[in-house]
Amino acid sequence: MSPSVSDADLSVCDREPIHLLGGIQPRGVLVAFHQDTEAVAVVSANAAALLGAGPDALLGQPLSRVLPHGLLARVEAGAGPGPVTVEVSGQRCSALLHDSDGLRVLELEPLTDEDAGTSTEETALGAVQRLVSPLARAKGTVALLQHAAEAVREVIGYDRVMVYRFHADFHGEVVAESVREGVDSFLGLHFPASDIPVQARALYTRHPVRLIADVDAKVVGLVPPLLPGTQRPLDLSGAALRSVSEIHLEYLRNMGVGASFSVSLLKDGQLWGLMACHHLTPRKVSAARRQACEVLARLLSLQLAAEERGLEAAAQARRASLLNVLVLPNLGERSPARALEAQAPLLMELTGAHGVALVLGASAGPDASPLLLGSTPSADEVRALVAWLAERELPDDVLHVDRLGDVYPPLASRADVAAGLLAVRLDPAVPHFALWFRPEVARTVAWAGNPNKPVRPEPGHERLRPRASFDVWREETRGASQPWSLQDLEAARALKGALVGVVLRHAEELAQLSRELARSNAELDAFGGTVAHDLKEPLRGILQYSSFLQEDFGPTLGEEGRAQLESLMWLAKRTHGLLDDLFEYSRLGRLELSWEATDQQALVEDVLTTLGARLQEGRVEVRLPRRLPTVECDAVRIRQVWANLISNAAKYQTAEPRWVEVGFVGPGETRPQAARHISAPYLFFVRDPGIGIAPQFHEAIFELFRRLHPAQAYGGGTGAGLAIARRLVSLHGGALWVDSAQGKGSTFYFTLGEGPRS
């Protein structure tokens, strides 16, 4: 009848000196002796069973009198810490030797018939073979762990082999398992960190293998119980026969376990997990098999490390590519906010969150709706959270919590979606955030096992059961999410960096554009100023002297001379005109429009009055089928547009009858095909049946000085008119385009904006 264990005992678990319990398991004999004299210093109380004499007779004796001749030498010659099979009192035993408290400690374990007869190397080798086979490697971590569990079960023949994995908070999870038919499964079980207390974890890190061959076995004491030098029991940390904590035994008994064997899984020297093996009845595992399992575990650890590094590298690469996708350089048309919104699913993946909220650009502000994706709190809750976050100092602009409710009570009740928050502030100036949410971890974990049936119901220690462990762990993690890993934080920071890069690049692009604009404006200004004077002046000079020539020598020049002089003056005037147009065009960008309700009918009539003589001369009929409406615009500028379009329409006609139609399409009226995409209320047009424009020139004609005809043809325009007209229309927020085909006439359409563009 084992002493009962209370919850209070559980709480002192962490302080129990489990390496100094001063006892061993009865499956073997321990002899500790002085290095120099080989005199026996400590011996286990059960020594007589194997050594033929009790502790009193053995203590102080040289080892050579206690053990068969040459045994120690053979053990010492054994390779490394591995067991050496020796014969003691007619029994085949495995011998292990290690140092502790300045003494040499020899442990002898009689071999079972099973072990004595066969070579364990083959079994072990087979298991190792299986573990490191390409098949196992190819399938990823879970498959690898599964293989390991099966390999270990094959080596030791236990009923259940589990692979525990410790999480960052040291709570454990059963991630792989191999069980004999009919034995309860613990797969998916989570247990609190306290189930394997700190000092146990420390011990497991230093000494990777533990065997409890029989949970009901009586602990065998050591003689003397305390070392004379230290006044405490011999330190048994390194002893294979070390007895274990009664609490642990109780736990095992409650689980219906008769024997337990575990091997540590270390990764980079840190305890990563355990291979925990249970047998429902007592069962020994020979030192050789234990060693085989240890080798397996080391191999597995190496594999895991490689595996994890591979996974990390893959995740890193994935994140990098996500970031790449997120920060595609095609932001010409899109703000960073829009680009991000388009990539929201990738954003979730970035940190392994269950929900993302984006609060930036159009989705920021007290009235805007944050962009929500996946499982998140409501828009109102997110807005409130952002307001709270905006007030806080965030080191590195990042906040990560796995118990949001503790720091931000308003969301304490929303652990279902927002137990964990990873927030990254994207802009120091405005409260723009990327928020990742994770639900309560317990909600994401289900454990189907039912080891709750009390195997040996004893009042007072219901706690010592897996179900209780699971419940404790669930309770402990209530309101907590899976913690954010370093990688998650890195990804979030990288995203922020990338975003800031994007935002900056966006700003940089804008700045670059405005710099270029400013420069080209300045250049145009300078050019304008130059045009206004320096370039035009020589032309004026040419004109002046040509006119002096005409005045003074005209009569004597003769027909040909006068014609040449005329050509000279025409060229000079034309160049002068080009420069004037260019100057005007250059000033358009800095034009301040003066918007007013303008009667387009009056505007067009005014234009027709001005063009009257030219229209009559070309015998062009102007058709105004209906009165034009009154719309908001800068009358002076739009008059210029009408004038340009109407005079062009009149100009580019050869066949009779010549006409120009000026009209509009009003709100709700059927739009022509060429204007079906236009949403502006009024669509104005100028139509002519003239020479038309081939489609490939439909845009070219709007380029400055782009001409389709010889300069002297069709009244010799400079080619600036349409460029200026388009610029004026677009300053109004409208568009100007042409619908035409060669020889089929042309229709120029334009729209006007809704008023001054801020």
Partner 1 sequence: MKPLLLVEDSDPDAEALMRIAKRLPLPVPVVRVRDGENALDYLYQRGEHVAAERPVLILLDMHMPGISGRDVLAQLKADPDLRSIPVIIFSSSLDMGDVNGAYASGANSYLFKPEVGPQLQATAEALHAFWFKAARLPEAQESEA
Site residues for partner 1 per CB under 8 A: 532-533, 536-537, 540-541, 543-548, 551, 573, 576
In angstroms, what is the minimal distance from the CB of 590 to partner 1? 11
Per the DSSP assignment, residues forming a β-bridge with 56 are none
**Closest distance to partner 1 from the beta carbon of 531 (Å):** 10
What CA–CA distance (Å, rounded) separates 716 from 709? 9
**Cα 751 versus chain centre, distance:** 46
Distance from the first to the final alpha carbon of the chain? 89
Closest CA to 279 of 291, 289, 288: 289
Separation CA 757–CA 77 (nearest Å): 93
Looking from the CA of 162 toward its CB, the CA atoms found within 13 Å total: 21
CB of 408 to partner 1, least distance (A): 59
Q: Smallest gap, in angstroms, from Cβ of residue 609 to partner 1?
A: 21
In a 13 Å sphere around the CA of 327, the CA atoms on its Cβ side amount to 18
Give the nearest distance from C-beta 566 to partner 1 in angstroms.
12
* Token pair listed for 47: 């020594």
Closer CB to partner 1, residue 444 or residue 547? Answer: 547
The smaller minimum CB distance to partner 1, of residues 48 and 591, is found at 591
**Tokens encoding 407:** 């720091």
Q: How far is the CB of 545 from partner 1 (least distance, A)?
A: 6
Distance CA(17)–CA(757), nearest Å, equals 79
Question: Rg of the chain over CA atoms, in angstroms?
Answer: 46
Residue 270 or 547: the one with the smaller Cβ distance to partner 1 is 547
Question: Of 186 and 583, which has the nearer Cβ to partner 1?
Answer: 583
**Of residues 216 and 537, the one with the C-beta less far from partner 1:** 537
**Of 578 and 691, which CB lies nearer to partner 1 in the complex structure?**
578
Q: Least distance in Å: CB of 580 to partner 1? A: 9
Between CA 384 and CA 732 the distance in angstroms is 41
Beta bridge partners of 134: none
- Rounded Cα distance between 716 and 725, Å, is 17
Question: Least Å distance between CB 554 and partner 1?
Answer: 13
Q: Specify the long-range contacts of residues 16-20, CB closer than 8 Å, at least 24 apart.
A: 16/197, 16/199, 16/245, 16/247, 17/199, 18/199, 18/200, 18/203, 18/244, 18/245, 19/199, 19/203, 19/235, 19/236, 19/237, 19/242, 20/232, 20/233, 20/235, 20/236
Report, in Å, the least distance between residue 527 CB and partner 1. 14
Beta-sheet strand order (sheet of 658-665): 620-623, 658-665, 683-688, 746-750, 736-740
| CB nearer to partner 1: pick between 528 and 745 | 528
Give the SS3 label for residue 283.
coil
- CA–CA distance, 155 with 295 (Å, rounded to integer): 12
| Between 397 and 584, CB nearer to partner 1 | 584
481, 473, 453, 476: which is closest to 465 by C-alpha? 453
Instruction: Please tell me whether the peptide bond between 224 and the residue prior to it is cis, using omega within 30 degrees of 0.
Output: yes
Helix (H) / strand (E) element for 751: namely none
Query: How far is CA 303 from each of CA 147, 153, 188, 687, rounded to the nearest angstrom?
Result: 12, 19, 22, 79
**Quick one: 388 or 545, whose CB is closer to partner 1?**
545
| 3-state SS track over 163-225 | EEEECCCCCEEEEEEEECCCCCCCCCCEECHHHCCHHHHHHHHHCCEEEECCCCCCCEEEECC
Closest CB to partner 1 among residues 338, 562 = 562
Phi, psi torsion values for 634, nearest 5 degrees = -90, 105
CB of 533 to partner 1, least distance (A): 4
Residue closer to partner 1, measured from CB, 471 or 584 = 584
Phi, psi of 597 (to 5 degrees): -65, 120
Shortest distance, CB of residue 731 to partner 1, whole angstroms?
18
Paired tokens of 338: 């829009």
The nearer residue to partner 1, 585 or 652, going by C-beta atoms, is 585
Q: How far is the C-alpha of 758 from the C-alpha of 756, rounded, in Å?
A: 6
Q: Which is nearer to partner 1, 262 or 546 (CB)?
A: 546
CA gap 668, 682 in Å, rounded: 10
By C-beta, is 92 or 573 nearer to partner 1?
573
Residue closer to partner 1 by CB (options 475, 537) is 537
Amino acid at 725: A
Closest distance of CB 540 from partner 1, Å: 6
The type of residue at 273 is G
Looking at residue 365, its amino acid is G
Q: Smallest distance, Å, CB 345 to partner 1?
A: 56
Residue among 380 and 537 whose Cβ is closer to partner 1: 537
Q: Minimum CB separation from partner 1 for residue 644, in Å?
A: 18
Cβ proximity to partner 1: between 210 and 536 the closer is 536
Query: What is the full DSSP assignment across 110-139?
Result: EPPHHHHHS-HHHHHHHHHHHHTSHHHHHT
* CB of 547 vs partner 1, minimal distance in Å: 6
Q: Min. distance of Cβ 572 from partner 1 in angstroms?
A: 8
User: Cβ contacts of residue 511 below 8 Å, gap of 6+?
Assistant: none
**In the complex, minimum distance from the CB of residue 638 to partner 1, in angstroms, rounded to a whole number:** 19
